[in-house]
């Protein structure tokens, strides 16, 4: 029985159950209903472009069809369903030959440890922060009372920064291992819809339970978990890394070490640089979080007035402009979400966005950020040293703390007043906690960032009605969009030049930009280690 792949269009309020899909496939192929045995959803995306009368689902489906299909009678193009590409294949190794320390329990570290352990390696996973349950209490104290724990916050702890980032899984990375990551997520509690949605999303609340299941999976494979341990330095013997030293004075020996820390581990960057690890600055972006009523975004995208139909999800958006070669763009847009405090260092203010699985908040938010090139860092007086970007981030984060009032309140201004260059105590309604302080953001952010934000607000306000209006707040600062450094590595062995046995993975070392791309990178580093171990054993 042939299996065919074809595309369907369905109005947002149309039935999408198996019977309705079989009927629509039969109609599109020009065959009787009984000829269609089964229909499987392969991909689903909501198209709300204005040229369509109503928001419409674009579906790609695979259908099992009895008998030949006459192309001349079909209403749509179709092709045989392609065979699935092979995914993760690695050799098994004996644990005695593969003692691996993985530093960091974010997506890269978790997936690297997971694959290494299931293939037989003896793995120790070290995380400076706390397990997700305890970490949640620390976050609650920070958000509710402004009490920051520098070792347990929205960036440090089990799951990494992604735990409090909306659980957004969309990635532009075109890699066969993306499906592997999705399937592992589903096996640990993610909704099966992430396998078909064009913009898959889990939600922070569901990520908590998933991380607990991933932890149980790691333990079942023999992984040793060490929380509340910060790596202070590498142990190096004759040019080879043989372990790590912790802030507790413990030493953990290993045949291989994987550094999978996140983009905010600035103290770790400094410690490794002092030890001679090669490191270079890389471009990133900084700006603000912009917060709107979700109803404003819904109406702009769906033309639905103040009430969004129940058949439609909270609307999102993506905007960008690159005039003059300096990009200003939306980043990590969170429909139905909230803005959260993300500082890791006392005396700084940093913000990010998150949402739950239901995306049911009255507010939408997104990063609105301006690209920071290496040339710009030099113009700003930070040179082009490995930590130029780190120093730049720290400057604007401490400025945000001062102008927020010194109590972890974030400085903010209404979007319309920012464009008019007016200062005012008036702010739009907000969901942000601990709270906002009306401030002049031109005293927080450099002129080139403010200029980019102005340009973006004027352009995007013409695309999305009300985007730069009086119901929108600009909340500073969004400064941790990606890592400001990169640690070079051999793209075959994944090892750092001059440091045999040391691999780097994920967002912190500069090789990923989100949950899925970091997890994929972790799997690839694990695969490279397993291949090296197997090759050595075969000699």
For residue 192, what are its two tokens?
Answer: 């099966």
Same domain, 441 and 300: yes
Strand order in the sheet with 473-478: 320-321, 328-334, 363-372, 284-293, 473-478, 410-414, 436-438
The enclosing domain of 166 has a CATH number of 3.50.50.60
Could you tell me how far CA 88 lies from the centroid of its own chain? 22
By 3-state DSSP, what share of the chain in percent is helix, strand and coil, each rounded to 5? 30, 25, 40
Same domain, 248 and 292: no
For residue 476, what are its two tokens?
Answer: 């500073």
Same domain, 404 and 498: no
Position 96 scores a pLDDT of 77
Domain that holds residue 209: 95-263+494-538
Same domain, 59 and 103: no
Nearest to 112 by CA among 537, 538, 521, 483: 521
Q: Which residues pair with 226 in a beta bridge?
A: 126
- What 3-state DSSP class applies to 398? helix
**Consecutive 10-residue runs of the chain (539 residues): their mean pLDDT?**
93 92 96 95 93 91 94 94 88 88 98 97 98 93 94 95 80 86 96 94 90 97 98 96 98 98 97 98 98 97 93 96 92 95 97 93 97 98 98 98 97 98 94 95 98 98 97 98 97 97 97 94 97 89
Same domain, 13 and 101: no
Q: How far is the CA of 57 from the CAs of 9, 41, 198, 280, in angstroms?
A: 6, 12, 11, 44
Same domain, 314 and 436: yes
Q: What is the DSSP string of 93-136?
A: --GGG-EEEEE--SHHHHHHHHHHHHTT-EEEEEESS--HHHHH
Residue 334 placed within a domain: yes
Residue 483 placed within a domain: no
Same domain, 103 and 163: yes
- What 3-state DSSP class applies to 63? strand
Same domain, 387 and 425: yes
Residue 194 placed within a domain: yes
Is residue 149 a contact partner of residue 157, using CB atoms and an 8 Å limit?
Answer: no
Residue 87 placed within a domain: no
Is residue 143 a contact partner of residue 248, using CB atoms and an 8 Å limit?
Answer: no
Q: What is the DSSP string of 43-58?
A: EEEEE--TTSSS-EEE
| Rounded CA separation 439/412 (Å) | 6
**How many structural domains is the chain composed of?**
3
Position 242 scores a pLDDT of 98
Same domain, 24 and 108: no
Position 95 scores a pLDDT of 75
Last residue of a domain, one of 428, 448, 478: 478
Residue 275 placed within a domain: no
Last residue of a domain, one of 80, 107, 141: 80
Same domain, 471 and 505: no
Own/partner long-range contacts of 80-86 (Cβ < 8 Å, ≥24 apart): 80/2, 80/3, 80/4, 80/5, 81/3, 81/4, 81/5, 82/5, 85/176, 86/176
Peptide bond into 358 cis (omega under 30): no
Residue 489 placed within a domain: no
| Rounded CA separation 456/451 (Å) | 9
Residue 172 placed within a domain: yes
Nearest to 56 by CA among 8, 15, 12, 7: 12
- How, if at all, do strands 363-372 and 284-293 pair? antiparallel
Peptide bond into 328 cis (omega under 30): no
The enclosing domain of 37 has a CATH number of 3.30.70.2700
| Rounded CA separation 229/246 (Å) | 6
Stated pTM of the model: 0.96
Last residue of a domain, one of 80, 115, 136: 80
- What 3-state DSSP class applies to 197? strand
Q: How far is the CA of 199 from the CAs of 11, 438, 517, in angstroms?
A: 18, 34, 14
Nearest to 66 by CA among 26, 37, 39: 37
Q: What is the DSSP string of 488-524?
A: ---TTT-EETTEEEEEE-STTTTS-SSHHHHHHHHHH
Residue 277 placed within a domain: no
Nearest to 314 by CA among 326, 300, 329, 331: 300
Same domain, 392 and 425: yes
Same domain, 225 and 304: no
């Amino acid at each position: 029985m042939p299996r065919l792949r074809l595309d369907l269009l369905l109005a947002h309020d149309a039935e999408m159950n198996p019977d309705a899909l079989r009927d629509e496939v039969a109609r599109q192929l020009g065959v009787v209903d009984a000829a269609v045995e089964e229909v499987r959803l392969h991909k689903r995306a909501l198209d709300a472009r204005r040229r369509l009368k109503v928001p419409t689902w674009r579906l790609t489906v695979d259908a099992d069809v009895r008998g030949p299909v006459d192309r001349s009678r079909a209403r749509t193009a179709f092709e045989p369903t392609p065979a699935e590409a092979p995914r993760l294949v690695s050799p098994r190794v004996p644990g005695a030959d593969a003692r691996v320390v993985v530093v960091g329990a974010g997506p890269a570290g978790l997936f690297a440890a997971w694959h290494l352990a299931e293939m037989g390696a003896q793995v120790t996973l070290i995380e400076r922060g706390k397990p997700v349950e305890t970490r949640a209490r620390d976050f609650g104290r920070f958000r509710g009372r402004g009490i920051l724990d520098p070792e347990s916050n929205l960036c440090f702890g089990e799951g990494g920064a992604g735990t409090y980032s909306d659980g957004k899984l969309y990635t532009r990375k075109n890699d066969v291992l993306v499906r592997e990551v999705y399937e592992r997520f589903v096996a640990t509690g993610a909704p099966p819809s992430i396998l078909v949605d064009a913009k898959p999303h889990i939600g922070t609340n569901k990520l908590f339970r998933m991380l607990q299941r991933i932890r149980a999976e790691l333990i079942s494979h023999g992984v040793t978990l060490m929380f509340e341990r910060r790596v202070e330095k590498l142990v190096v013997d004759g040019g080879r890394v043989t372990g790590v030293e912790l802030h507790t004075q413990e030493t953990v020996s290993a045949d291989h070490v994987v550094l999978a820390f996140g983009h905010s581990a600035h103290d770790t960057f400094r410690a490794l640089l002092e030890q001679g690890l090669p490191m270079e600055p890389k471009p990133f972006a900084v700006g603000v979080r912009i917060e709107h009523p979700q109803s404003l975004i819904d109406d702009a995208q769906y033309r639905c007035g103040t009430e969004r139909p129940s058949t439609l999800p909270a609307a999102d958006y993506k905007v960008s402009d690159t005039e003059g070669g300096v990009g200003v763009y939306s980043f990590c847009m969170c429909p139905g979400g909230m803005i959260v405090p993300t500082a890791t260092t006392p005396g700084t203010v940093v913000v990010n966005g998150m949402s739950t699985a239901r995306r049911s908040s009255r507010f939408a938010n997104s990063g609105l950020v301006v690209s920071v090139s290496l040339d710009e860092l030099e113009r700003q007086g930070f040179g082009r040293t490995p930590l130029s970007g780190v120093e730049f981030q720290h400057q604007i984060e401490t400025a945000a703390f001062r102008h927020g009032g010194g109590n972890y309140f974030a400085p903010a201004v209404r979007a319309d007043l920012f464009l008019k260059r007016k200062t005012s105590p008036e702010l739009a309604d907000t969901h942000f906690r601990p709270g906002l302080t009306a401030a002049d953001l031109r005293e927080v952010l450099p002129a080139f960032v403010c200029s980019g934000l102005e340009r973006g607000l004027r352009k995007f306000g013409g695309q999305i009605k009300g985007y730069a209006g009086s119901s929108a707040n600009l909340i500073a600062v969004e400064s941790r969009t990606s890592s400001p450094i990169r640690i070079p590595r051999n793209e075959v062995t994944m090892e750092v030049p001059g440091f045999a046995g040391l691999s780097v993975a994920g967002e912190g070392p500069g090789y990923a930009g989100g949950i899925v791309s970091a997890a994929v990178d972790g799997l690839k580093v694990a695969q490279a280690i397993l291949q090296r171990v197997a090759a050595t054993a075969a000699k």
